[in-house]
A and B are shown apart, each in its own frame.
With several copies, the nearest count.
Chain A
Amino acid sequence: METANAVQKPIKLLYFAWLRSRIGLAEEEVVLPAEVRDVASLIAWMKGRGPAYAKALENEAVVKVAVNQEFARADHPLRPGDEIALFPPVTGG
């Protein structure tokens, strides 16, 4: 099935500002498990990936998410190949 194949394709995760420094990475590619279908389930899954992730994401209210360079809400669906960025509220220029 197309969906099953597509899930094997990784997504790209980008981290900015203190999310980057807490996670300790600027970006990574991951293959999402089948149960991760949207932004909310991505965050929930990431918290289980280790203490650095759990700490960085502990206050979800201040974690903003963009999918393919557009701001995305909790119910925004995710697809293989997406570029997903996590960052704190912007502080402007």
Chain B
Amino acid sequence: MTVRVQREDFDVGAELEGLTRGNTGIGGVASFLGLVRDMAGGEPIRSMTLEHYPGMTERQLAAIEAEARQRWPLDACLIIHRYGRLEPGDRIVFVATASAHRAAALEACEFLIDWLKTRAPFWKFEETPQGGRWVEAREEDDVAAARWGTRDGEPDGLDP
């Protein structure tokens, strides 16, 4: 069970290999790799800079990972999230969940990436040909995360 918040890129193949090594009880690994898109809101993007709150980010990621492990029988789980300046095509985030059964792995992976893409404590600054701008929180993303019934607005919750 691992959470990493890092500036550096990562090697998806090596991470997946390490996740399952030595555990032949694992039947499947679901994963999601998030990449920087070249467009946002109809405008080209030159770069995206991810800012985070060191310490709190890791705590929040560890908490959501613990929640996923409570909800689904996972043999292994990995969250890697980058910060700093990224360009289109760059890897941003990687989630992988391993389980004896594929449904558990698939659902846990979707749960984690929905949360990460909407509620993880990161802020995005996009650089476009017209200049830079901070990305606003998106309504539709909240709907995706809300499906999972994660706690909202509680002082000790996972979400502001």
Contact = CB atoms under 8 A, between A and B. Distances in A.
B34 to A, nearest CB: 6
A55 interface: no
Interface stretch (A2-10, A43-51, A67-75): A67-75
Nearest to A89: B137
Given A17-B134, A71-B159, A73-B155, A90 B123 contact: yes
A85 interface: yes
Contacts of A76: 155
Contacts of A88: 123, 134, 137
Q: What's the interface size class on A, roughly?
A: 20 to 34
Contacts of A70: 56, 155-156
A87 to B, nearest CB: 7
Contact of B160 (A16, A20, A64): A64
A87 B56 CA distance: 12
A93 B93 contact: yes
A93 B53 contact: no
Nearest to B158: A71
Nearest to B79: A93
Contacts of B81: 93
A93 B136 CA distance: 13
Nearest to A83: B55
B120 A92 contact: yes
A14 interface: yes
Interface in B18-36: 34
B155 A72 contact: yes
A69 B122 contact: no
A82 B136 CA distance: 28
Contact of A93 (B50, B154, B155, B156): B50
A83 to B, nearest CB: 8
A88 B134 CA distance: 10
Contact of A69 (B53, B93, B124, B153): B53
A40 B48 CA distance: 33
Contacts of A14: 53
Interface of A: 14, 16-18, 20, 64, 66, 69-73, 76, 85, 87-93
Given A16-B53, A90-B123, A93-B93, 10 more contacts: A14-B53, A20-B51, A70-B56, A70-B156, A85-B56, A87-B53, A89-B136, A89-B137, A91-B135, A93-B120
